[in-house]
Amino acid sequence: MTRVSSTARAAGIVTVVVAALLGSAYVLGRSLVPDQTRQHATGVTTEGDGPHYADQPAEKPSTGSSTGTATGIPTTSQSAGPSEAGQDGSGQDTNEGGLFGAHTSTGSGRVALTFDDGPDPRYTPQVLAALREYDVKATFCVVGENAQDHPDLIQAIVADGHTLCNHSWHHDVSLGNRSTDQIRADLVRTNEAIRAAVPDAPIVWYRQPGGAWTAPVVSVCTGLGMTPLHWSVDPSDWQAPGASKIATTVLTQARPGGVVLMHDAGGNRQGTVDALSRILPELSARFELEALPTNPT
């Protein structure tokens, strides 16, 4: 009986020691992961000062496949060169070069600057000021919850003559995989938040977060009178590579008819703001810059 008790006691001590070691390892591992920026399934990260978004990098799906990622979300290239942007051989991009017919071009020789994920009270006013300085009109693809939180910035965007674009309510990258009723409710809710700030402003463009286009999301947005908008130039500014790299990418990849993707919210966008001081004068000297039309064909 004494031997059994001693053996059991020893086994118990070993179990406690092992459990303590495993617990310490778990705590150490957790401490190495920053709690303030944990990724959610919707493509949204949260930090202490509010929601942060980032369009997810996507690769063009292989031939015969409509899904380009492990999540089953159809994707298309975010950094399409001229041949991928739908050029017709004349040096001018054609309208519909993206997945499911999403527009990657202005349809003319003009170039469109677009800014996603806002409005943001830190960066959107700086972007507006830079555009105003160089007399450039752009397109702002706004997130519904941010439009609701900052109606004054939506009003400022419209007052400066820029075009508005629906960018979903909560930047849900997987929105296109949801039911058509859920997609419609999301887009309608976003439009309502925008129109609460600017009742008469046209909303005729829709950009899917992450460029994760699907047939249902295109069908719903067109059914609501919006045109799907993709891009042909992506400097990946959401990764905050620095103002110099952002500017260099935009200036070297821009072509007639190009649609340039940038961000005025969703994270630290100071690099984007700073890059505009180089992008705007140099791009304006080469192309006519436009806000996308409010009556697309």
What pLDDT is attached to residue 54? 55
CATH number for the domain spanning 104: value is 3.20.20.370
- pLDDT of 33 over the 80 cut: no
- pLDDT of 90 over the 90 cut: no
Q: How many CB atoms lie within 10 A of CB 5?
A: 9
The reply to whether 158 falls in a domain is: yes
The reply to whether 137 falls in a domain is: yes
Q: Which domain holds residue 149?
A: 46-290
Same domain, 66 and 18: no
- pLDDT of 75 over the 70 cut: no
Give catalytic residue positions: 116, 263
Same domain, 5 and 120: no
User: DSSP string covering 152-169, please?
Assistant: HHHHHHHHTTPEEEE--S
Same domain, 85 and 14: no
Same domain, 22 and 165: no
What pLDDT is attached to residue 51? 63
What pLDDT is attached to residue 98? 58
User: What is the β-pairing status of strands 44-47 and 259-263?
Assistant: unpaired
What pLDDT is attached to residue 15? 54
Same domain, 5 and 102: no
User: What does the block give as tokens for 204?
Assistant: 């005729």
The reply to whether 183 falls in a domain is: yes
The reply to whether 91 falls in a domain is: yes
The reply to whether 29 falls in a domain is: yes
What pLDDT is attached to residue 195? 97
Number of domains in the chain: 2
Q: 197, exposed or middle or buried, with CB in 10 Å at 0-12, 13-18, 19+?
A: buried
Same domain, 120 and 209: yes
Same domain, 24 and 53: no
The reply to whether 211 falls in a domain is: yes
178-187 tens-digit pLDDT: 999 999 999 9
Alpha carbon distance 200, 194 (integer Å): 10
Same domain, 196 and 259: yes
pLDDT classification of 8: cutoffs 50, 70, 90: low
96-127 tens-digit pLDDT: 445 888 999 999 999 999 999 999 999 999 99
Of 227, 265, 188, 12, which is closest to residue 98 (Cα–Cα)? 227
